[in-house]
Amino acid sequence: MQLSVVVPLLNEAESLPELSQWINHVMQENYLSYELIFIDDGSRDDSWKVIVELAEDNPAVKGIKFRRNYGKAAALSCGFTAASGKVVITMDADLQDNPEEIPELYRMIVEDGFDLVSGWKKKRHDPISKTIPTRFFNWSTRRMSRIKLHDFNCGLKAYNSDVVKSIDVYGEMHRYIPVIAKWAGFTKIGEKVVLHQKRKYGKTKYGPDRFLKGYLDLLTITFISRFGKRPMHFFGLWGTLLFMTGFGIAGFLAYERIFFEGYKMTERPLFYFGMLAMILGTQLFVAGFLGELISRSSHDRTAYLIETKRNLD
């Protein structure tokens, strides 16, 4: 099978028939074999009923239903597991992503050799209260990740199947799939300007809080990507520096007390700063040590060794 189209959705019953028909038309027009996987993320409207009806009329349509709302990342992860196509396309169900972009995205993966191609909604049909924070969010993500993409959160993306089978998407990390892919070793990441259409049905599922969550997730993934397999390099370094600073302060105060008979050590505010630095340093060092123990006992730490052995075989 050439293509798997994964569509996570929440309360999008009105748009599903039109989206399914549009995707089917594009696939037939370009002679592409495909499967369309709808992931119902705990919808409370008739979305699942519509998916069942679409699947009866079109064998390419498949559906997975969550009992409750788990979030877009969980839906994508489930869709990635179920996908069997050589190339995997993700898109939103609200008709703001244009299925006419699929053939070119597919070509960029197959012919140009990209691991991942992200859509860029260069001209957005969103209110200014949404576009300005989005641009700032993308700018800061671009600076921190060093991936030259303009629109990290665009739902329309194309992946080589090896990418989706190798990465782990959880929490709210769907915004950072390109970062996760780069961390996993898939460095050929491209971008394509795509058409952004106005929402035709329903309403947006995201509020202002997504920007705060987005930055917290960015900090998380940046830390994990740099120190996930070597936590002692972070905690041990800062723990050692803090402890040595505190120890140096304590030594200086002890020297003054012995040779100059000045104030008692406990009467100097600097003494308590030194003690605090040594305590925090010890705690950070122990945290790094425990992190190393957990990391070394984790199966994921040696997953790349298994991958290498399989390739050699």
pLDDT (0 to 100) of residue 125: 63
Q: Which CATH number fits domain 3-227: 1.10.10.10, 2.40.33.20, 3.40.50.300, 3.90.550.10?
A: 3.90.550.10
Q: What is the pLDDT of residues 237-277, one digit of tens each?
A: 889 999 999 999 888 888 877 777 666 777 778 888 989 99
Run of H or E including 65: strand 61-65
pLDDT of 227 reads: 66
Element (H, E) at 183: helix 177-183
Count CB-CB contacts under 10 A for residue 195: 15
**What are the CA-CA distances from residue 258 to residues 53, 92, 155, 245, 262 (Å)?**
87, 72, 68, 20, 8
Mean pLDDT, range 110-136, rounded to an integer: 81
Could you read off the pLDDT of 137-175 as tens digits, one per residue? 788 778 877 888 988 888 899 999 999 999 888 777 788
